[in-house]
Amino acid sequence: MICEASMLIKRRGDLSDVIAAIEYEYEFSEEAFVRALKHHPDAEVVINTNPNGGPTDAALAHAGSAEVPLYGIAEVMRALNFDGAAFRRCVPRKQP
C-alpha cells in the first residue's frame, strides 16, 4: 500500500460529515478492503485513489455486505451529493 490515511470530509447544509479511508491499490482486492477497514474501523467509505486501479468483484461484494462503499475518486465525488443509504448505494453513471 502506498497511501494509507483517514480523512474527515466536512459537508455543509443538511449533509452529514463522512469519515473516509484513503487507499491506493491497482487491483483493489477483498483483502485490501478488509485491511482498510481494519486500519480505519470508523471509516464510512473506502476511497481508492489510484486512477488506474479498480475493485475486484469480491471486494465489491464485501463492501456491499459490510455497508461500507468502495469508491474511486469520480464515484465518491458524485456520492458526496447524497446522505445516508443513498450515499452508501450511489452507483456511477454509465459512460456511453
* Digit-coded pLDDT (tens) for 19-39: 999 999 999 999 999 999 999
The domain of 64 spans 4-88
CB-count burial class (<10 Å; 0-12, 13-18, 19+) for 94: exposed
pTM over 0.85: yes
- Report residue 3's pLDDT band, with 50, 70 and 90 as the boundaries: low
92 has a pLDDT exceeding 80: no
Question: Higher pLDDT residue, 42 or 2?
Answer: 42
In a domain, 41, yes or no: yes
In a domain, 40, yes or no: yes
In a domain, 31, yes or no: yes
In a domain, 94, yes or no: no
> Hey, CA dihedral for 16, 20, 26, 30, is it positive or negative?
negative
In a domain, 48, yes or no: yes
Tally the domains of the chain: 1
In a domain, 18, yes or no: yes
